[in-house]
Each structure stands twice: as structure tokens, then as C-alpha cells.
Structure 1
């Protein structure tokens, strides 16, 4: 995608967000045994099981390390990256196509900054905690719907930018992963689709709309 930069307009982005959380289902009634007596509910998970589930989640440091390991990965001669090719093969791509319309092949010529972030989440086995999308606006809204949105640049947070100075979700044009807060006015982040590659950038906090906080292990 020679000549394309991360400050492109939303209209050229082909995909949009992780859907709204599923509605809770009513608790099923216990089944009756042959004696006609209700069977007891399944036992609650033990503390050790909950601890194991917690340990399977990555830390922010692990997410940053994986994202940084991709620095230098660039678009090929046809203007595509492995992140776009991966996304087009996912069930999530089918969901976002159903939501937004267009053709699957369109992701090969779309902004891929959010596909990079989604790839990181999938490689960590952490899509449920990081979300997955190809449209930055809807990915930000996913964090907002899930109560994981704020203004603090924590390491590993997903940072959403607007180049117009706007602060609404609809103003968002780019996304990355925070490495660190440099000072009160700048942050350092690893980003896809910047200079046609994955790179580490230092950005002004004035360009930030907000931060999504993946559900990392502490």
C-alpha cells in the first residue's frame, strides 16, 4: 500500500467492531432423575481452577513483547501484510463483513493497524480480553461497552488516535499498543500501518482519543 499512511479516512476502512456482549441466558432448571428427584447443579469451579484461568491470561509485558517482535514487518510488493491475510481467514472477518458490507478481498487493501492489534490478541489466545476488529472506531466502542476505557496511558493499553484533534469515537483514525508514557505530553507505542510497516512511534497525547484496557493478568 505504497503511499498510504495511518492518517487515512474511515471511508477507506472496510471493517468495523467486535459485537456487543452476549445476553445472559436464564439459568436452566435442574433435571429430574429417574426417581423424580431433581439432580444437584454442577459444582462451582474451585479456587485452583479460577487461578489456572487467571494464569492463562497474558500480562501486559507479554503483549508488548509480542507486538514489538513484529517491528519491521512491512507490506509486500502487492501492498499486503501477513496481518491482513490472517484476518481474511478468520471467522471474525465474516462477522464484520456481515455487519459492514463489502468484499472479503477488500481487507487486503484496507487500513491494517487494527488487524495488527487483533493478530497480537489472537496469538496470545486473548481475543476475548482484547477484542478483534479491522475498524478502529468500532474496536474503541467495544472497549467502551465492556467498561474498559479511560484516559490513562498504561503499558499494554490499546491507544486510539484522531488526527483532527477530535475526541469522539467517530473521530478515530489509527490504533496502536502503548509501550510507555514518555512524559505528560507524549507516549511511545508500537503500531501497524505506519510508514507501511510495524514501527515504534512517539506521539503527542493531543492526538489520543482514549485508551482501551485489555483484561491482562496482573
Structure 2
């Protein structure tokens, strides 16, 4: 797994147009039929990541269809680069690049996402983007519309270990965005019964125990230092 595999998956989708399509259908099969005809730029990133074995690196918060949350995921793990010309010139193939058509660097204003295929210099990158004119195409983008980019930890390294140190212990009754991250990871690990409510309920606890059993760790239903790496593991 790595940037090359991620880009290979993206290139296979060049020319895809219209929706629903295989990307939106696969996402909807896990998250609900409302995604069949939704904007699919970030669903495509999710699709390419999962099909290339890069889910843990590219999707630190689990499956994403909403670009703002995806960018925030990269911020939380310390792998976010703001979209200035100088930073865009440091972009690498495989980086996940986020756009704001209002020409700000505000994460909350992000409208669109793609993957960097090539850095061109002069604050420009060549990208592959889905849902651009409702198709998957190559584009050339400049720093004025790039809000920033996330750099996936392709190849692993100590990324999971470092990230886990920053994550809280969660158990039944907990609430908040970290619980939502757990639920997203459970959905990505084939637990379609889970809803992203942000509430650590009975269903979430049951699914956590199943994942713990699968991962060969104590099945206590508590998400802590031993369970986070199992949730983030790529098969």
C-alpha cells in the first residue's frame, strides 16, 4: 500500500460520469441510500483509499463524504498543510487536496476535494478529482483555490502509535466527536448496524466487543490504547 496504489485506483476511475455510480453505490451500501445521488468527490477518496489498502492512512476518521470533516481529521492527527503557495509547492503525489472556491484557507469553507497526481511548481498541482462537472477528471489547480492538503502516512511508520497516544479512552455512555470517529471506524469494519450518533450506546459497545474479539484483545467494550489500533488496522 502507498501513494502509488492510491493513485492507481484514482486513475482507474477517470472518465466515470453521472450518479449513482459504483462509488456512490458502495458508499451508500454502508451509510444509507441518501448517498446514492449525493456529491461524490470525497466518497471517491474513500473508495480509492479502501480499494488500495490505504484506509488507515487516508481516512484517519473513517469513511468520509463531507470534505470539512475529512480535512479536520488531518488537522487532528497533525498532518494538515495550509494552502499557501509555499506549502502547495511542497505537495507530493498522493496528498489529499481540499478546495475552497471562495479562495480562503478556512477549513470550514471547504467545498471540494481531490488527490494530487503531480506537483507543477508555481503554487499549482495536477489532480484527479471526482464529481468535477459530475465526472472523474484530471484538473490543474492553483493555490488561490486550495484551502490546504492532508498528507496521509503512507507506509504506516509510527503514525498509528503516535495518533493513539492522543486519543481518549471511551466506554458506554460517552458522547462527542471521538465517539463518532469510533462509529465511523466500526462502519468501515463492516458493522452496518452502527449509526453515527456520537453516543456510545449498546449497539456501539456490542460492535466494539466484536472487533476486539476479532483483533485478539480483551473484549471489554472499552475503546482504549489496545482497541484504537485494531479499529484503525487495514486488512
Q: TM-score range by the shorter chain?
A: 0.5 to 0.7
Correspondence list, 1:55-74, <5 A: 58-74=1-17
Q: RMSD across aligned C-alpha pairs, in angstroms?
A: 1.4
Q: Relative CO higher for 1 or 2, CA cutoff 8 Å, sep ≥ 6? A: 1
Q: Residue 211 of structure 1 aligns with which residue?
A: 149
Match of residue 138, structure 2, among 180, 192, 200: 200
**TM-aligned CA deviation for residue 105 of structure 1:** 2.3
Paired positions, count: 146
**TM-aligned CA deviation for residue 161 of structure 1:** 0.2
Q: Residue 118 of structure 1 aligns with which residue?
A: 46
2:2–2:54 CA contact under 8 A, matched in 1? no
Q: Which aligned segments of 4 or more residues in structure 1 are displaced greater than 6 angstroms? A: none
- Measure the CA separation in 2 of the matches of 1:158 and 1:175: 7
Any idea what SS the aligned residue of 2:147 has?
strand
Any idea what SS the aligned residue of 1:85 has?
helix
- Measure the CA separation in 2 of the matches of 1:191 and 1:128: 20
2:6 corresponds to 1:81: no
**TM-aligned CA deviation for residue 126 of structure 1:** 2.1
Correspondence list, 1:118-137, <5 A: 118-131=46-59, 132-137=63-68
- Measure the CA separation in 2 of the matches of 1:89 and 1:195: 24
TM superposition score normalised by structure 1: 0.64
2:104–2:144 CA contact under 8 A, matched in 1? no
Q: Residue 233 of structure 2 aligns with which residue?
A: none
TM superposition score normalised by structure 2: 0.59
Which stretches in structure 2 are left out of the alignment for 5+ residues?
82-86, 157-235
